[in-house]
């Protein structure tokens, strides 16, 4: 039926057709194999990549919790401000790196173009402040003080300001209620750095790029609680970033509020009085140097004796913590970190250390008791003590004859403790300590909490120093080479000292022990250590870990985590000795005692006051004033560097703080209505149903009119050695 020729089907074509078929199917098999490899073998890898492809995160920063005082008065809270920010990533996309936009922005904000440009540059080792040390991907705040008009200008002309946003934002505010700045205790915030983000990435509380992080003070210690959790809305987006839907979301969790044991009113009093005391003493002339007192820095700690809770903590010089809000200016930063302003960022209550002077004598008296010397024994308070041809004088070279240790505290008799210190040193074997040497003085100092951190809930506390045999050895090892290089036999005074130190600087000498017994020499203590130790004497022997934080309250007020006072140890002496010490310290404010002239008219029968004065010598500087006091409820410690004597410089200020606490007037009347805090605040502030915390109104501290200078003179007659 077909007329199609049976040609064309040669074997050559037939074979080639088979080859083609084989080729075709091997191509298809190749595709199949590759498909399997991508989808089945490596599928998970690509699934993960696809998941990350189309998700954009929008971060809503959590509102940081407030820091409140014991009655609920906010010390740090937030306010809404108009923040103008610049996105570096957007600016860098422009041809001129955004210079034009920033210049226009500077025009609107009334700033110099350079100021704005400096704020958005990134910090590195060669870039001085101001610069941005947060993440370069986070919008950088240019100002948080934009007016509504400026913000509107920026928003309405969005095309002129690409990459610039102006939005109301919750900004940290340090309220300084009643003028209580509380600077160093509150601390400050600054933007999170890339390293911190990286480090905390896999931890339980990772950072977001927008986070501000507490850098010091309570802001740092309670950073995690205060910070809350930023909300993250994850949008599924397409390749152009258009939103297609919402993926998994993390809701914003506002930060918790931290209630502290601080009392803003007492804090205001303490700050004012410390500042005032330093101002006053600068007008006085130092008899030793013949110059007015420098009073370069000072600190005061008011602590609850029975719990270790800090009611007030002030450090001078201080600063306005609001300077950090919204990016610190270059000038301000230089001022805060410069030598000229004497480092106001330091919290000298926990970071300032100085030789203790006579406030240390409670340690020495306890050490003597531990060494077997009865408290009520008789010890010769001679006008001077001789050792190896050297004479160590009493304060103002005054003698009191044989007295008890209690009286030695009362008169602050140095010679009694010189002798005890020297004898103990000899008993321990002197320069070559015998096996099992007690080293009671050094050991007792450590047992009182000196030479170590108190563990207060504030960062970067310093340890102070107890110059025992071990320390001597370590210190010598570290400095030996320098000393040996510098030292010269029979050279200048400094060279001679270096020469001697090179040879035997590792030995604990009799001289060291004599000095140590009155808190002089290489010993260094911090105000908070001293407060903790004296509070322990007040409460019967418990050394507390001082705390500023009292409770963490969730934003809805439903979850309250109280921060209980925690005992950190016991004083190393029995109850009887503590009671003896207490009596001795009580006699210090009674007639004849070194602080009596500062407590004239104090209702000692109603509110028994104990005190110890201290005047510590510092090589090359004026003396440091120490004043450690306590009642049954409160312990107050004040120190003024280069401020003269303990009672002289710090006395009136401490007295005024007590007056304010108890409502005591100069003539000794107690007016409960005027008393700020006659008993420590036990309860937490009242929390409303919506979680807000009620805050009582606060009136600024009005110091009493200065006393009649003549009357002051009269009381001063009773003044004794420090």
Note whether 61 and 254 are within 8 A (CB): no
User: Per rule CB under 8 A, is residue 57 in the interface with another protein?
Assistant: no
Rounded-to-integer distance, Cα 280 and Cα 703, Å:
14
User: Per rule CB under 8 A, is residue 575 in the interface with another protein?
Assistant: no
Rounded-to-integer distance, Cα 95 and Cα 167, Å:
26
Q: How far is CA 682 from the centre of its chain?
A: 24
Note whether 300 and 349 are within 8 A (CB): yes
| H or E, element range at 107 | helix 99-109
Longest dimension (CA), the chain: 152
User: Per rule CB under 8 A, is residue 43 in the interface with another protein?
Assistant: yes
Supply the DSSP string of 556-621, one letter for each residue: TS--EEE---EEEEE-SS-HHHHHHHHHHHHHHHSTTSTTGGGSTT--TTTS--EEEEEEE--TTS
- Judged on CB neighbours under 10 Å (0-12, 13-18, 19+), 441 is buried
- Min dist. Cβ of residue 248 to another protein (A): 14
- Min dist. Cβ of residue 48 to another protein (A): 8
Nearer to another protein by Cβ, of 245 and 709: the residue is 245
User: Per rule CB under 8 A, is residue 5 in the interface with another protein?
Assistant: yes
- Min dist. Cβ of residue 11 to another protein (A): 10
Count of residues that bind another protein according to CB under 8 A: 48
Looking only at residues 192 through 251 of this chain, which bind another protein when binding is defined by CB under 8 A?
236-240, 244
Alpha helices (H) along 315-392: 330-337, 348-351, 361-370
- Min dist. Cβ of residue 137 to another protein (A): 17
Nearer to another protein by Cβ, of 236 and 296: the residue is 236
Note whether 314 and 346 are within 8 A (CB): no
Q: Which stretch binds another protein (CB under 8 A): 31-39, 280-288, 451-459, 711-719?
A: 31-39
User: Per rule CB under 8 A, is residue 89 in the interface with another protein?
Assistant: no
Nearer to another protein by Cβ, of 6 and 195: the residue is 6
Nearer to another protein by Cβ, of 54 and 603: the residue is 54
- Min dist. Cβ of residue 139 to another protein (A): 23
- Min dist. Cβ of residue 98 to another protein (A): 21
- Min dist. Cβ of residue 52 to another protein (A): 10
Region for 350 from its dihedrals, namely left if φ exceeds 0, alpha if ψ lies in -120 to 50, beta otherwise: alpha
Looking only at residues 157 through 176 of this chain, which bind another protein when binding is defined by CB under 8 A?
none
User: Per rule CB under 8 A, is residue 137 in the interface with another protein?
Assistant: no
Looking only at residues 480 through 519 of this chain, which bind another protein when binding is defined by CB under 8 A?
none
Q: Which of 34, 566, 570, 707 binds another protein (CB under 8 A)?
A: 34
* DSSP letter assigned to residue 160: G
For residue 529, give Cα distances in angstroms to 147, 448, 543. 47, 8, 10
Bridge partners (DSSP) of residue 58 are 233
Q: Which stretch binds another protein (CB under 8 A): 40-48, 111-119, 382-390, 707-715?
A: 40-48
- Min dist. Cβ of residue 49 to another protein (A): 5
Three-point CA angle 18, 24, 29, nearest 5°: 125
Alpha helices (H) along 540-647: 575-589
Q: Which of 32, 168, 374, 377 binds another protein (CB under 8 A)?
A: 32
Beta-strand relationship, 55-60 and 379-381: unpaired
Nearer to another protein by Cβ, of 93 and 157: the residue is 93
For residue 321, the SS3 value is helix
Nearer to another protein by Cβ, of 18 and 431: the residue is 18
Q: Which residues bind another protein (CB under 8 A)?
A: 1-10, 12-14, 16-17, 19-21, 23-25, 27-28, 30-32, 34-36, 38-40, 42-43, 45-47, 49-51, 53-54, 236-240, 244
């Amino acid at each position: 039926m077909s007329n199609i020729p049976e040609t064309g089907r040669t074997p050559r074509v037939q074979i080639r057709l088979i080859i083609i078929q084989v080729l075709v199917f091997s191509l298809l098999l190749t595709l199949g194999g590759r498909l399997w490899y991508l989808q089945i073998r490596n599928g998970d890898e690509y699934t993960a990549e696809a998941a990350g492809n189309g998700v954009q995160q929008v971060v809503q920063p959590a509102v940081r919790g407030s820091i409140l005082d014991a009655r609920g008065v906010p010390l740090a809270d937030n306010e809404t401000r108009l923040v103008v920010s610049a996105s570096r990533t957007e600016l860098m996309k422009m041809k001129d790196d955004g210079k034009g936009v920033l210049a226009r922005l500077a025009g609107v904000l009334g700033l110099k173009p350079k100021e704005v440009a400096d704020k958005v540059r990134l910090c590195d080792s060669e870039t001085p402040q101001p610069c941005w040390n947060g993440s370069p991907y986070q919008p950088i705040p240019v100002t948080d003080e934009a007016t509504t008009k400026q913000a509107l200008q920026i928003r309405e002309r969005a095309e002129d300001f690409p990459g610039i946003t102006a939005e109301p934002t919750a900004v940290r505010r340090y309220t300084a209620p009643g003028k209580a700045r509380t600077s160093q205790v509150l601390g400050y915030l600054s933007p999170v750095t890339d390293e911190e983000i990286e480090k905390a990435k896999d931890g339980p509380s990772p950072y977001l790029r927008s986070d501000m992080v507490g850098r010091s003070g309570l802001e740092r210690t309670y950073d995690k609680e205060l910070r809350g959790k930023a909300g993250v809305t994850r949008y599924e987006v397409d390749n152009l970033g258009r939103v297609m839907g919402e993926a998994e979301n993390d809701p914003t969790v506002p930060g918790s509020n931290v209630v502290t044991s601080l009392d803003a009113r007492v804090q205001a009093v303490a700050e004012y009085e410390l500042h005032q005391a330093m101002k006053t003493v600068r007008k006085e002339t130092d008899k030793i140097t013949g110059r007015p007192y420098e009073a370069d820095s000072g600190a005061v700690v008011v602590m609850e004796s029975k719990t270790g809770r800090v009611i007030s903590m002030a450090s001078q010089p201080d600063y306005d913590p609001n300077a950090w809000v919204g990016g610190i200016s270059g000038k301000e930063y230089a001022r805060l970190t410069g030598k000229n302003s004497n480092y106001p960022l330091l919290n000298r209550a926990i970071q300032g250390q100085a030789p203790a002077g006579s406030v240390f004598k409670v340690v020495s008296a306890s050490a003597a008791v531990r060494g077997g010397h009865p408290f009520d024994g008789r010890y010769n308070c001679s006008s001077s003590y001789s050792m190896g041809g050297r004479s160590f004088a009493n304060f103002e070279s005054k003698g009191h004859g044989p007295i008890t240790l209690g009286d030695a505290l009362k008169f602050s008799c140095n010679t009694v403790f010189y002798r005890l210190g020297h004898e103990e040193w000899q008993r321990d074997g002197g320069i070559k300590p015998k096996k099992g040497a007690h080293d009671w003085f050094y050991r007792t100092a450590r047992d009182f909490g000196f030479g170590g951190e108190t563990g207060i809930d504030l960062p970067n506390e310093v340890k102070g120093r107890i110059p025992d045999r071990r320390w001597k050895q370590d210190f010598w090892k570290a400095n030996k080479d320098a000393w040996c290089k510098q030292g010269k036999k029979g050279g200048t005074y400094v060279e001679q000292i270096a020469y001697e130190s090179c040879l035997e600087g590792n030995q604990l000498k009799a001289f060291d022990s004599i000095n140590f017994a009155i808190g002089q020499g290489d010993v260094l203590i911090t105000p908070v250590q001293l407060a903790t130790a004296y509070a322990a004497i007040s409460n019967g022997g418990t050394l507390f870990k001082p705390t500023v934080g009292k409770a963490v309250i969730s934003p809805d007020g439903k979850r309250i985590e109280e921060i209980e006072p925690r005992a950190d140890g016991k004083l190393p002496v029995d109850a009887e000795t503590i009671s003896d010490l207490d009596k001795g310290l009580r006699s210090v404010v009674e007639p004849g005692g070194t602080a009596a002239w500062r407590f004239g008219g104090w209702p000692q029968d109603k509110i028994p006051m104990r005190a110890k004065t201290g005047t510590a010598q510092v090589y090359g500087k004026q003396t440091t004033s120490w004043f450690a006091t306590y009642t049954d409820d409160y312990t107050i410690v004040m120190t003024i560097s280069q401020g003269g004597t303990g009672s002289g410089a710090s006395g009136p200020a401490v007295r005024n703080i007590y007056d304010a606490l108890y409502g005591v007037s100069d003539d000794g009347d107690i007016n409960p209505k005027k008393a700020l805090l006659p008993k420590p605040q036990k309860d937490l502030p009242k929390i409303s149903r919506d979680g807000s915390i009620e805050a009582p109104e606060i009136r600024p501290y009005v110091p009493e009119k200065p006393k009649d200078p003549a009357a002051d003179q009269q009381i001063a007659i009773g003044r004794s050695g420090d």
